[in-house]
Structure 1
């Protein structure tokens, strides 16, 4: 019986690898994925640069990814750039669905693999909403809606109004914090290296690429931990106003002792994460590539 189960599991994995390879042999799948990583990097670059401006007293504001879209729309050629970002986001969503469904990264059907692939679907949903917000701005059919703290507090209040709502908010907070801890662990152990074709870069550049990527992933992970902790606090106090989004997490850092330094470090980390996304767009290793 055990041997039969093992054979079936191996067969399922081979089928998944075959489907994943077929997906990546389609040149448009890879192009959309690379454009998606680049679009994601642009959004995080805007968030980081705006926060850096706040830290150095040059204006700007702490904002989240939706706020970054609004900022892009206000720039010269903003509509054109935003349209490219919107298309890139669609590409990123499709790539996440491919990762979840066809498993081109070989995560497998074990408990850990299924959780990881489910996370890809969640990511696809999040960036699908972001892509729709970008398209609304491009078409001039309205803004991106509520974002940042306002959005986080609204959906937290709605979730709390449901049966066992406080417990659900706490679980969501723990999951987000867990994702952040995993990101920090991935950065520390440099688990991202296997996804990048660093042999295509000069050794010195590859060394700096790893350092910048490590800083970026770590910074994003710590921000996620903060957002998760805020949600847990909201659940424990039954106060949705304790929930904060990305902009609220950055603003909280700024309000601490030595807040300017903390905000500058976090902002620089988000810019570094944007660079990491650009590296993924250029050097990402795909199955069969």
Structure 2
């Protein structure tokens, strides 16, 4: 083995040891599980609000930040938002551990490094959600721009830069690629390897798999749509064509049989929330 390969192997072994040490800490796994559950709660709110729109019971199209804002006015909203802020912080820490210490063994291949970089991006996104939840809990202000407003603002900023259309197109391809990867993960049931579903009886495990697959596919399909809107914005150099999660759901409602499509997507997001709850309870850590 050459010197470079030897050093890479040493770094990986050191990362494995650090990752195991982190997960041996009594609070790390608990924070990770709470983080998955908090993420699920946010998606459940998004899905339920969209279901209400689909069935004409009020509600609104919103994204994850808007979901937090909708909780602020509820009874015990401040308490729930505080718990969500703590949970999302736990999720951020866990994503950091996954990216830096690689406890899941993604390795240092090109594919492994891309996945681990994705964990860092996820950590950043959920860190901003945690801050927004805490600000709302403390009554320190709203969540700022979110959904379509945020997507269009960022798109306009990128389009104003040199090679702006190309940058927006790359963003669209990345978002659509994430969605396609989620659909692939669900279809091939790769996510099952990380779950201890043998603790459930066969019937409940089968139902859990169906719900989890449906949820992951639904979220992936919405991401593919969002990526497509960014690509349209790049093609036409028009930031108004970019859409966030709320805009993607609204676009479904505008199609023929829109009410049905919106209801299916919203139910899928609720199913994704169930998947997060299943992960929170049954995820394997260190292969256990």
Give the distance between the partners of 2:239 and 2:169, measured in 1 at CA: 11
Match of 1:283 in 2: 282
Equivalent runs, 1:144-223 vs 2, <5 Å: 144-223=143-222
Deviation at 1:202, TM superposition (A): 1.2
Q: In structure 1, what is the Cα distance between the partners aligned to 2:10 and 2:38? A: 36
8 Å Cα contact 1:69/1:82 also seen in 2: yes
**Cα offset for 1:12?**
2.9
Name the CA distance, whole Å, in 1 between partners of 2:80 and 2:118: 28
Query: What residue number does 2:22 align with?
Result: 23
Partner residue, 2:105: 106
CA offset digits 1:62-110 (Å, max 9, x no partner): 1100110011111111111111001101111111001000001010011
**Shift, 1:166, TM fit:** 1.1
Q: TM-score, normalised by structure 2?
A: 0.98
* Alpha-carbon distance in 2 for matches of 1:6, 1:155: 41
Equivalent residues of 1:219, 1:269 under 8 A apart? yes
Alignment check: 8 A CA contact 1:25 1:288 kept = no
Q: 1:27 deviation in Å?
A: 1.5
Structural mapping, 1:114-133, within 5 Å: 114-133=113-132
Distance in 1, Cα, partners of 2:199 & 2:43: 25
Secondary structure of 2:57's counterpart equals coil
User: Gaps (5+ residues) in structure 2?
Assistant: none
Partner of 2:76: 77
Matched, 1:267 2:263: no
Secondary structure in 1 matching 2:190: coil
* Distance change (3 Å), C-alpha of 1:288 and 1:187: closer
Counterpart Cα distance in 2 of 1:141 and 1:108: 41
Q: What's the secondary structure of 2:262's corresponding residue?
A: helix
Superposed CA deviations along residues 250-286 of structure 1, whole A, max 9, x for unmatched, are 0000000000000000001000000000011100101
Q: How many correspondences in the alignment?
A: 288
Q: What is the alpha-carbon distance in structure 2 between the residues aligned to residue 106 and residue 18 of structure 1?
A: 11
CA-CA distance at 1:4 after TM superposition? 5.2
Counterpart in 2 of 1:68? 67
| Alpha-carbon distance between aligned partners in 2 of 1:160 and 1:255, rounded to the nearest angstrom | 27
Is 1:98–1:104's contact at 8 Å kept on the other side of the alignment? yes
Whole-Å separation in 2 of the counterparts to 1:129 and 1:6:
37
Corresponding residue of 1:94? 93
Deviation at 1:163, TM superposition (A): 1.1
